[in-house]
């Protein structure tokens, strides 16, 4: 079972005040901490679990800058066999179309049974690279995957639908599966583990090696402007000392008839 996993490094945005950059096309990133996209963390774990069960290899790929190698090293420490970074200059000039063109071109020449992506990247919130790569490669696919079993050259997958319903399908390999959170429990990675994994292969390829024309990569969607959420009325904030807040809390519950 040879599995390729597409991963992305994204900023952690929880509990930070995001600020729009001067061109209003993105956010200021210099103060932010970066992590492996949550969905991709589950995807790499799932690939490693399948490898442990069925043998084979796991390759992690990212289209990104040198700094993004940090997430590839994490994947190697988790148990991936090798990693590839595609150096493509300023990645923010591509939309998901472009990224999926690049990824599919790299993956195409690989021997693989499965390609995994996350359902969604936490930064752009597009949720489309996975299925686009599948379509570019012309291979079978499933989205929102929360369970995988390999049997007789096929993957039996469960896709999560709205309202807690699961759709079970059988898919012939090779296939691309977009992985949803909760499919497994991603393993812990220690600093030591990351240091040890430094010996593993991390290959850098240049976009120009891939022979994709600029025309093919030109964005089809254009971010005109990004901005902070419009002010809405929002919640009435309870203020005062803790005791006062607690009294107000109880008063609201009483008024709404749930303290009886």
Partner 1 sequence: MSEVFVIVEHRLGEIRDITLEMLWKAGELAQEHSYNVTAILLGHEVSSIAETISDRADKIIISDDEQLKNFNADIYKEIIAGLIEESKPGLILIGNTAWGMELAPCLAVRTGFPLATDCIDITFKDGKLTVQRQMFSGKIFSNVSFSSSAGCLLTIRSGVFPKDRIGDRQAQIVQREFSLKEIPQKKDFIEFVETAAGDVDIAQAELLVSVGRGIGEEENISLVRELAEALNGLLSCSRPIVDKNWLPKYLQVGSSGKSVNPKVYVAVGISGAFQHLQGITGAGTVIAINKDPKAPIFRAADYGIVGDLFKIIPVLKEKVLETRKG
Ligand X SMILES: Nc1ncnc2c1ncn2[C@@H]1O[C@H](COP(=O)(O)O)[C@@H](O)[C@H]1O
Ligand Y SMILES: Cc1cc2nc3c(=O)[nH]c(=O)nc-3n(C[C@H](O)[C@H](O)[C@H](O)COP(=O)(O)OP(=O)(O)OC[C@H]3O[C@@H](n4cnc5c(N)ncnc54)[C@H](O)[C@@H]3O)c2cc1C
The option from partner 1, ligand X, ligand Y, none interacting with 188 (CB < 5 to 8 A, set by class) reads none
**Which pairs count as long-range contacts for 10-18, CB under 8 Å and 24+ apart, including other chains?**
10/34, 10/35, 10/36, 10/37, 10/121, 10/122, 10/123, 11/35, 11/123, 13/122, 13/123, 18/228
37 contacts 9 by C-beta, under 8 angstroms: yes
259 interface partner picked from ligand Y, partner 1, ligand X, none, CB below 5 to 8 A per type: partner 1
Spatial distance between the Cα atoms of 79 and 196, rounded to a whole number of angstroms:
11
Residue 220 in the binding site for partner 1 (CB under 8 A): yes
Cβ distance to partner 1 smaller for residue 114 or 142: 142
Residues 104-133 that bind partner 1 (CB under 8 A): 119, 122-132
Q: Can residue 240 be called a binding residue for partner 1 (CB under 8 A)?
A: no
Name which of ligand Y, partner 1, ligand X, none residue 55 binds, using a CB cut-off of 5 to 8 Å depending on partner kind. Answer: none
Q: Which residues bind ligand X (CB under 6 A)?
A: 6-8, 37, 39-40, 61-64, 91, 96, 99, 103, 117-118, 120-121, 124, 126-130
49-108: contacts with partner 1 (CB under 8 A) = 96-97, 100
């Amino acid at each position: 079972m040879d599995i390729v996993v597409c991963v992305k490094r994204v900023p952690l945005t929880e509990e930070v005040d995001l600020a729009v950059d001067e061109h209003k096309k993105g956010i200021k990133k210099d103060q932010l901490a970066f992590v492996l996209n949550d969905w991709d963390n589950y995807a790499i774990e799932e690939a490693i679990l399948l490898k442990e069960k069925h043998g084979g290899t796991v390759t992690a790929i990212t289209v990104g800058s040198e700094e993004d190698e940090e997430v590839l090293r994490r994947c190697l420490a988790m148990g991936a066999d090798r990693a590839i970074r595609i150096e493509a200059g300023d990645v923010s000039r591509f939309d998901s179309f472009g990224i999926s063109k690049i990824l599919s071109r790299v993956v195409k020449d690989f021997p693989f049974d499965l390609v995994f992506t996350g359902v969604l990247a936490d930064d752009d919130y597009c949720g489309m690279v996975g299925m686009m790569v599948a379509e570019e490669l012309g291979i079978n696919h499933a989205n929102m995957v929360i369970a995988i079993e390999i049997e007789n050259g096929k993957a039996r997958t469960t896709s999560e639908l709205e309202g807690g319903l699961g759709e079970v399908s059988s898919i012939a390999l090779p296939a691309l599966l977009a992985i949803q959170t909760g499919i497994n429990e991603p393993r812990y990675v220690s600093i030591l583990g990351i240091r040890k994994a430094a010996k593993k292969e991390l290959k850098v390829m240049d976009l120009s090696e891939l022979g994709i024309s600029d025309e093919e990569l030109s964005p089809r969607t254009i971010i005109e402007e990004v901005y902070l959420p419009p002010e809405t009325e929002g919640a009435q904030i309870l203020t005062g000392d803790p005791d006062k807040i607690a009294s107000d809390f109880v008063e609201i519950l009483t008024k709404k008839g749930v303290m009886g």
